[in-house]
Structure 1
Amino acid sequence: MFYIVALMVPLVMRFFFELERQVDILRAALGDEVDAAACPAAVLLLTDDAVIRVLEAATALVKAGEAVRIAAAGVAAGRSPRAAGHQGLAQTRGHRSPVALVQEITGSTRADAAKHVRLGQALLHAGLVDAESRIDSAAASPTDSEIPGTPSIPGSERPWHAALSDAMMRGTITSTQQDVILRGLGEPPSCDTPAACVGDDGARTDGDVCNEHRGASARHAWAAAAEQLIDEASTRTAEELGKAARTIRDMLDPEGAQRRFDERFEGRSFHTWTDGDGIHHGSIRFDDLGHAWLRAVQDTALRPRRGGPRFVDPDEKAKADELAADPRTNDQLAYDLLLDTLRAGSLADAATVFGTRQAGVRVIITADALRRADGSTRDTERSADDLGADAGIAVLEEGGTLPAWLARQQACSIGSVECALDGSGNPLYLGREVRTFSSKQNIALAIRDGGCRWPGCDRPPAYGEAHHIDRWVDGGRTDIDRGILLCRFHHMNLHHGGWRITRHGPGPFLLHPPRGADPIVLGTPIERRYVYGDLQPPPLRFRPAA
């Protein structure tokens, strides 16, 4: 037991030292005598920089406390199995489940309590808080090989998501980021049916051995994907990480992507009912394409109310001003819009219903994937890396994936627009002949940028304005490589707040804050990087034999 204490004390000391450091920051800013009731008044007197320091220190304390709470929730769940009956930890406290126990103690919502239990169980599975197993093993044979980076449960392989648990406990990612990545990636597909496969060396393997290899390959790919998303977490919102995780999952597991699409399509429904007071209600469960279409309709028609682009044309501006002054709420406008669209049907006059821009769903797919969806390049002899990249999916402009065959179907029925992008996403060059970006250039910007590129902004392309990073009056060019998509708010904030955006050659766009702070790299939406090949998902190392 002394051996284990000797290993753990440095870790404990570092943990509490960091907590004490953050407490010292708060004490220096707020004073020793402040109590909880007086805290808001004390913060009100701080300078802007001091407010930021207080916010950062308080966040660090909350993250550390939450990590410990999640570990405790996982242990409580592990000690409250159904098999224990009324003798489980939660049950002896009068609760049906560990979620109910955690909810009562924390005062959180049931959803938050369930998240803490879920993440805590992931910690247990990763061998990070199974102290009894580690202590028993180390006490039995304290060899040098057991002196850990992060120890694991003896005799078991660490799960693919262990890196997420490690990163959360270190504070590299938050519990929310861990949860959205974990849920977005889902579980790797398992292989439980004997089937022949071929490895990287071309050797053929049969039966259960193949399935074991393929399962290990899938777990390795999921683990590598989790590591990639951890690296992105410091500059991405939780929503971005969740979308990226789902996209990676569909690229790595196209069969599963097709199955999930089919399930959502089969689950589509529209139900209406009238309650006891005579009020009529409706409930819609969307399939992927149906939701994208309806969202495009709403975004197109309501964008002046939701921070859409400024209008230069007088007629457009007049319609936008009229909509902004409309006394109806956004929900009422959306309702009336839906009924107007249903009434007008296929004979709708786009200018009457939508204003100046007709609604539509833009689906992005590489030419190679489009050909494969048509069946023209099916090749059973492709390499394992090719198979890993051949995801069989297309990407909706505003996020989410569709099967490649559905994109092919849409292209056949409504046509397509080809847009050639180089590795830097620079498809068109107009020089100085035209000041404003053309419609095709705006399509290219939407494809490349996926919406407003400002850090943390989720405004879709429909709300975007093309910004010249080089001022026109100073000789700037109207070229894609010198333009970037920003929503109206951030576009105006950039011009009026002392911000600026630069770019050196084909490199990344850099956002320069006012007052000389370090520039911020404006990352491309991460799911776009996978689709265009800039960032490759981890390859599956085995493939079915021809």
Structure 2
Amino acid sequence: MSAVDLVRLRRPIEMPPPSLDTLMRQAQHQVGQMMQALVERPDDLTDLRGHIGEVERLSRRVDALKLRLTARAASTGATGVAGHTDTGSWLAGATGSDRTTSASDAMLAEAMGDAERAAADDAGDAAGDSGDAGGGPGAAGDAGDAAEDRSRAGRGPRLTLTAAALDAGTISAAHAKVILRGLDDLPEGVTTDQRRACEAELLRLAANRSPSQLRRAARRVLETYEPDEAVVDQHEDDLVAREEEAARERAAFWVKDNRDGTMTGQFTVPWVSGMMLKKVIDAMTAPRRRTTDGPGDAHESGGAVGSGGVGGSGRAAEQLSPSDRSLDCQHRRGLAFADLLMRIPTDHLHSKVSATILITTRVDDLLAGLLDEGLVPAGTRVGSTDVHDVISAGTARRLACGAGLLPTVLDGDSIPIDLGRQRRLFTDNQRMALATRYDECAAEGCDRPFAWTEIHHLRPWEAGGLTDLDNAAPLCGTHHHMIDSALWRHVVTRLGNGTVSLAFHRRT
């Protein structure tokens, strides 16, 4: 055997990459090993938060793989061969998911494209963006316009940046759906560059926002390239008004007699109506709500679960298991709802503000259309609420005169006007004033909405603290309880916008 032959024998043999089926089996095996490690190696579970983060990233990447496979099935016609009418029904059959979820996933899969098509389109766009290649000075613009036309016509991926982030597991499929909706809501005439800039901005925001928080930010993504704030305001208001109108179209209600002394029902109503109902029920069942209507007129509810109030056995909440507490809460809320139905109208509830949606809007937006015979100027801004969402300017105007909705009107400097003060317990007016400053519990990292909070004296009343806004902080029930716990200490930080943040640390 010659030396040349020996060299040839020493060369590594190039093996073809493993098939997708093989990789799937290996992945299933790896997941099984991880499940087994949970039981057999409990000492490895020292960084539970880190492990959860890695599992979440892995889950997101698996979701991306499912979407890529769905896009491939649609592009190759596999869904039609199976006899399904569309990709959503094919996916529902393949995964056992409900039809609505599968339809939403199919839309996202189409926007992402399968990996091969996405790479080909990206290469084509790169060639088109290279300048004069392929046909003179206008070639780059023509290629970009062609790519945009393919996207809008559904023949190419529309979310190349988002798809890459989902592939890497840095965002979830829920984030990607919000981004898709935000880009589809952009006005007519948006250019390819503007669209990509908006997509990049939404991806940046998605890094530290939940999908619901990102959804609110997406309504104003027009700010990425539109310098006129009035145009952005009008765009956001138009989107919210469109959502409200669509919600009215989906409104439904049914109730049936169970013939055992009970009735069961279900309803779908616009967000504002549903939130009004939820806040009424919350007000009737909140365990530790305190407020006053005037000097010495305090209202309190609390004590043992079910004691003297709606529903329950009188056992202390601490004695119940988590599942029992959940069922007990549902039971109390059910009884509260039954009580509410017997007491309509709701203006006699024990806590008017607790059962009220607080709407913050500008004077001009509130008066527009009321004083000018229905003429609404351009640039109206949505009204914000104390429960983490917004309503259109038109809805705010319609509800401003109704019972149960109290507008907090801001002047040009965003200073609350016409808000009363109280010397001891915090008043309803002070709570409304705080709602213009805070969206959530003041505890660091807590995302419970302002509507769920209780007002806490930063400097205790017993220690000479004043009942004024600068000494007030909204805290959810959990963090309000931690204030008085010997297990926790807290540090108050005053922020530049007139609010405070409380950081809790376990005592050692």
Normalised TM-score (structure 1): 0.62
Any idea what the Cα deviations from partners look like across 1:250-282, whole Å, max 9, x if unmatched?
Answer: 851544543443443355443334579997443
1:69: Cα distance to partner?
3.2
Structure 1 residue 287 corresponds to structure 2 residue 284:
no
Q: Partners of 1:267 and 1:59 in 2: how far apart? A: 33
Structure 1 residue 464 corresponds to structure 2 residue 447: no
What residue in structure 2 maps to residue 345 of structure 1?
A: 344
Q: Does 1:411 align with 2:400?
A: yes
Q: Is the 8 A contact 2:174 2:211 kept in 1?
A: yes
Alignment map for 1:138-537 (pairs within 5 Å): 155-157=146-148, 163-183=161-181, 186-190=184-188, 215-216=189-190, 226-245=199-218, 251-252=234-235, 254-255=237-238, 257-265=240-248, 267-274=250-257, 280-304=263-287, 309=289, 316-318=301-303, 321-323=307-309, 326-327=312-313, 329-346=328-345, 349-351=348-350, 359-376=355-372, 387=378, 390-414=379-403, 416=406, 418=408, 420=410, 437-454=426-443, 457-468=446-457, 479-481=468-470, 483-493=472-482, 496-506=487-497, 509-510=500-501, 512=503, 514=505
Q: For the structure 1 residues 290 and 416, does the alpha-carbon distance in structure 2 shift closer, same or farther, using more than 3 Å as the test?
A: closer
Q: Are residues 486 and 62 of structure 1, via their aligned partners in 2, closer, same or farther at CA, if it must alter by over 3 Å?
A: same
* Equivalent position amino acid for 2:382 in 1: I
Greater helix proportion: 1
Aligned partner letter, 1:258? A
Residues 277/35 of structure 1: CA separation in 2 closer, same or farther (3 Å cut): same
1:229 and 1:241 in contact (8 A); partners too: yes
Whether the 8 Å contact between 1:429 and 1:479 is mirrored in structure 2 is no
1:47: Cα distance to partner? 5.3
State the distance in 2 between where 1:416 and 1:422 align. 19
> Which deviations, in whole Å up to 9, do the C-alpha atoms of 1:329-357 show, x marking residues without a partner?
44444444334333333487434xxx786
- Do the aligned partners of residues 404 and 458 (structure 1) sit closer, same or farther apart at CA in structure 2, a change above 3 Å counting? same
Assess if the C-alpha contact under 8 Å between 1:134 and 1:153 holds in 2: no
Q: Aligned equivalents of 2:470 and 2:57: distance in 1?
A: 39
* Contact 2:443-2:501 within 8 A present in 1 as well: no
Task: Pick closer, same or farther for the CA change 1:230–1:510 going to 2, 3 Å.
Answer: farther
Structure 2 distance, partners of 1:94, 1:456, is 49
Residue 4 of structure 1: aligned partner: none
SS at match of 2:44: coil
Question: Quick one: structure 1 residues 90 and 372, their matched pair in 2 at CA, closer, same or farther if it must change by over 3 Å?
Answer: same
Matched residues in 2 for 1:494 and 1:225: separation?
Answer: 42
Residues 418-464 of structure 1: CA deviation (Å, up to 9, x unaligned): 55589797989999x95754432221222322332456655343420
User: CA-to-partner distance for each residue in 1:210-262, whole Å, 9 max, x for gaps?
Assistant: xxxxx227x88776655544333233222222344458798515445434434
Structure ranking higher on relative contact order (CA contacts 8 Å, 6+ apart): 1
Name the CA shift for 1:367/1:114 in 2 (closer, same or farther; >3 Å): same
What TM-score do you get using the length of structure 2 for normalisation?
0.66
**1:20 maps to which residue?**
none
The 8 Å contact of residues 364 and 447 in structure 1, kept in 2 or not, is answered as: yes
Structure 1: unaligned runs, 5 residues or longer: 1-22, 24-31, 80-87, 147-151, 191-214, 517-546
Identity %: 22
Q: 2:119 aligns with which of 127, 131, 143?
A: 131
CA distance in 1, matches of 2:374, 2:174: 40
Structure showing greater radius of gyration is 2
Matches for 1:64-75 after TM superposition, within 5 Å:
64-75=61-72
